[in-house]
Every structure is written in C-alpha cells, then in structure tokens.
Amino acid sequence: MSINRKVQETGSSTYIVSLPKSWAEKIGLQKGDELSIIERSDGSLIVSPNLRVEDTREAVVDLTKIEDGDFATRIFLTKYLAGYPTIKFHSERPIRPSVRHALSEIVSMLLGPEIIDESPKKIEIKDLLSAGDLPVEKAIRRAYRVTSWMLDSAWDALEKVNKKMAAEIQKRDRSVNRLYFLVLRQLTMALRDPIQLKNLKIETYDLLNHRSVIKSIERIGDHVWRIADSIISFPDTPLPEKIVGKLIEYGKEVAQLLEEAMNSYFAKDIFLANNTIKQQGELKQKFKELDHEFFDLETVIAINFRIIADSIGRIADYSADISELAFNRTG
C-alpha cells in the first residue's frame, strides 16, 4: 500500500502528517497511543506502533499428493524461512509415515518450531520463539563459538586419534545448523517487514552481510564435521607423527585465522581483516608443500589426510571471505 500525504505546518517548528485511517484501525491504534519513528540511512522513516502486534499468518499445505519425505521437508523449510508462525499440513488421506517422520525430524533440528497438534490427516507446527528472543548478531556469535569449539577439539581428537571425541564433534554440528536456519529466517522476516529490523536490531545494510557470514560459519562447521569423519575412518594403526603434527599445526593456525576474521567482522576492523586475508594466502602455500608427503602412505590413510588438509584449506578460504565482509560493513 502506498499513500501520499501533504505535510502541514503548525506553529513555527512542527510539521504534521496525517496517518491513514485504515492502517490505524487495522493495528488497533487509539488516541494517546505512542508510535516509534525510525530514521533509515536512505532518509526514509518507518512509523511503528509500540504495542506488540501478533503475527497471525498461517501457511496451509496440502500433502494429499506428496509421498516423498524430502519433498515435504523442502516445503516446510520454505515456509519456516519465510517467517510463518504457524504451518498447517493436511491431507485427504492419512499422511504417509515417511512424510510424518521427515517433518518430525526437521522440526527437531530447528530452534523454535514445535508440533502442537497432530492427527492421521493433519500436522500443525507453530514457532514458539519470538523474533527478539535471540537477535541475529547474538545468534551468529553463538554459531561461531560452537564452530570454534568443534575446530579446537578436532586437533585434540586427531592427535590422540580419539574417535569418541570425533563423534561428539559431529553431533555439535547440528547446533550450528539450527542457528544457521534461525538466522536465515530472521533475515528473511526483516527483509519482508522493515519493522522487524528494529525488533532484531539489524541495520538494513547488514542484511546481506549477516546472510553471508552465517553461511560461511555453517560451511566451516560442515568441514569440521568432515575432519572428524576422517578421524573416525582412520584404521587402528599408528599414523605418521610428522604429518599429524603438521596438520595439527596448520589446523591451529586456521583456528586463529577464523578468530581474527570474526573479530574483524564484529568490530568492523579493516586493518585486522586485511591482515587475515594476507595470512590466508600464506597458509594456503603451506598446504601445497604438504601434499607430496601423502604419496607413499597406505591408501585409506592418504585419502583421509587429504580430506583433512582440504578442509583446513577451505576453512581458511571461508575465514578470508568473512574478513572481506568486514570491509563491506564499513562501506
């Protein structure tokens, strides 16, 4: 809805613009209520009621023709990321067990949504997490802390070939994924409704930056999962100490690189960001020198060493990407 209003002047310093009556009635605005006026960087203003307006939107999905659990999962994620507080699935026949199981699984992997009503022909899912309960930047910091713990623990697991610790690292990747989807949902809601920018404490120019940084963190978590998987896949024979030592050394360097990248992003520190990008190039060169040492190893050991080395390199790349975003935040 776009409505034009003429600016009126009263007294010597006050300008008045009337509010659309239909909008005031829609949100239940009364005489004496307060409004928040938010000035945006492009010079426009957002007028927002201070009273809390409940989002009552519902997404309704017909599962009658859907037999594939993955298909149902994709539909649910689309609605979840779009910000619908309630998603209702129904079917003219009993919902297939594979579809019901898939929806139950994806709900358990996310922050906020819960199945609140269920019958043979319907499933109702409601998001119980308020948008302001976990602001975007706080969620990003949390995702980074979990990923950082996974990365640090991976080198302890590699040094001792501790497969139980590696399995525990893999479990923590689920927490990173939950935060990833939550941030995507919040950013989509903020893009759809500018009022959410205030609730989520996001600057407009940071929508794309936050989207990119949480994606990089999520991908780093995936690569740490791969490192842990390689540790689990090693045979129960002694590993070459020299190569293990170098991988641990480079792994700790990339963990420091990631920490500096995240610090540069949050602080908008382009000097630290630039230094991190330079270090990434130096670290990548070390990997080229390491590759030839895998040639004479037993095949399964060589393959897993290469996977670990490749993942360390990719984490370095994502760290550099995060540092580039620090530059974008100062533009």
Angle at 209 between CA 203 and CA 212, to 5 degrees: 145
- Predicted local distance difference test score (pLDDT) of residue 108: 93
Q: Which CATH number fits domain 136-328: 1.20.58.220, 2.60.130.10, 3.50.50.60, 2.60.40.10?
A: 1.20.58.220
| Class of the CATH domain delimited by 58-127 | alpha beta
User: How far apart (Å, rounded) are the C-alpha atoms in residues 153 and 148?
Assistant: 8
User: How far apart (Å, rounded) are the C-alpha atoms in residues 325 and 319?
Assistant: 10
- Predicted local distance difference test score (pLDDT) of residue 51: 52
Domains 58-127 and 136-328 share a fold: no
- Predicted local distance difference test score (pLDDT) of residue 110: 93
Buried b (16+ CB within 10 A) or exposed e, 178-212: bbbbbbbbbbbbbbeeebbbebbebeeebbebbbb
HEC assignment per residue over the chain: CCCCCCCEEECCCEEECCCCHHHHHHCCCCCCCCEEEEECCCCCEEEEECCCCCCCCEEEEECCCCCCHHHHHHHHHHHHHCCCCEEEEECCCCCCHHHHHHHHHHHHCCCCEEEEEEECCEEEEEECCCCCCCCHHHHHHHHHHHHHHHHHHHHHHHHHCCHHHHHHHHHHHHHHHHHHHHHHHHHHHHHHCCHHHHHHCCCCCHHHHHHHHHHHHHHHHHHHHHHHHHHHHCCCCCCCHHHHHHHHHHHHHHHHHHHHHHHHHHHCCHHHHHHHHHHHHHHHHHHHHHHHHHCCCCHHHHHHHHHHHHHHHHHHHHHHHHHHHHHHCCC
pLDDT tens by residue, the chain, 331 residues: 677 888 887 777 788 888 888 888 877 788 888 887 777 666 777 777 765 556 778 999 999 999 999 999 999 999 999 989 999 999 999 999 999 999 999 999 999 999 999 999 999 999 988 766 788 999 999 999 999 999 999 999 999 999 999 999 999 999 999 999 999 999 988 887 766 776 677 777 888 999 999 999 999 999 999 999 999 999 998 999 999 999 999 999 999 999 999 999 999 999 999 999 999 988 877 777 777 788 888 889 999 999 999 999 999 999 999 999 999 998 6
User: How far apart (Å, rounded) are the C-alpha atoms in residues 209 and 328?
Assistant: 7
Domain positions in the chain? 8-49, 58-127, 136-328
User: How far apart (Å, rounded) are the C-alpha atoms in residues 185 and 119?
Assistant: 27
